Amino acid sequence: MSTKICPHCGAEIDSEAARCYNCKNWLEEISTNTNDKPQEFIPTLLFAYFWGIFGIHRFYTGSIGIGVAQLLTFGGCGIWAYADFIMICFNKFKDAQGRNLRNFDQNIGVVAFVLSLIPLVIILFLITTVVGLLAVAK
């Protein structure tokens, strides 16, 4: 018979016991439900990057209300969705229960963030080039 220690009184009790025989306290439910865990980091990151303007990463992590709001606003014209993406990259993103994502990898987060900047840099470069050419043309 395997045993465990009661967290309330320290008595040694049957590991299957739901209630401590000594102090009569109920023992915390050990969750075996795999659905009761935060979602994984990488899928959430990919959802936020590719379908962030539809709020898919929010649906995926259980925040249905925010997901609908992002779906209706195209992720706050992309700004809200991109802010979420940055939060995911740096492990600041919380799921519907306020938990961090599972299996966060800092290296992947930083790389994803840097890669996401490339299109922004190209757009800024094109804008400044066009503005510069217009200024020269005058």
Nearest-5° Cα angle at 111, 110 to 116: 100
Alpha helices (H) along the chain: 41-51, 56-60, 64-72, 74-77, 79-89, 106-137
Query: Residue 22 interacts with Zn ion (CB under 5 A)?
Result: yes
Q: How far apart are CA 96 and CA 100, in angstroms?
A: 10
Which span sits near Zn ion by CB under 5 A: 18-26, 45-53, 68-76, 113-121? 18-26
> With respect to Zn ion, which residue has the nearer C-beta, 11 or 68?
11
Give the residue, chosen from 23, 64, 79, 110, that forms a contact with Zn ion under the rule CB under 5 A. Answer: 23
Which span sits near Zn ion by CB under 5 A: 14-22, 93-101, 102-110, 115-123? 14-22
Query: Residue 8 interacts with Zn ion (CB under 5 A)?
Result: yes
Q: How far apart are CA 47 and CA 54, in angstroms?
A: 9
β-bridge mates for residue 14, sequence order: 3
CB of residue 15 to Zn ion, shortest distance in Å: 14
Q: How far apart are the first and last CA of the chain?
A: 88
> With respect to Zn ion, which residue has the nearer C-beta, 3 or 22?
22
Contact 116, 46 (CB under 8 A): no
> With respect to Zn ion, which residue has the nearer C-beta, 23 or 124?
23
Total number of residues that touch Zn ion (CB under 5 A): 7
> With respect to Zn ion, which residue has the nearer C-beta, 20 or 81?
20
Phi, psi of 48 (to 5 degrees): -65, -35
Taking CB under 5 A as the criterion, which residues in 28-47 touch Zn ion? none
- Binding-site ranges for Zn ion (CB under 5 A): 6, 8-9, 11, 20, 22-23
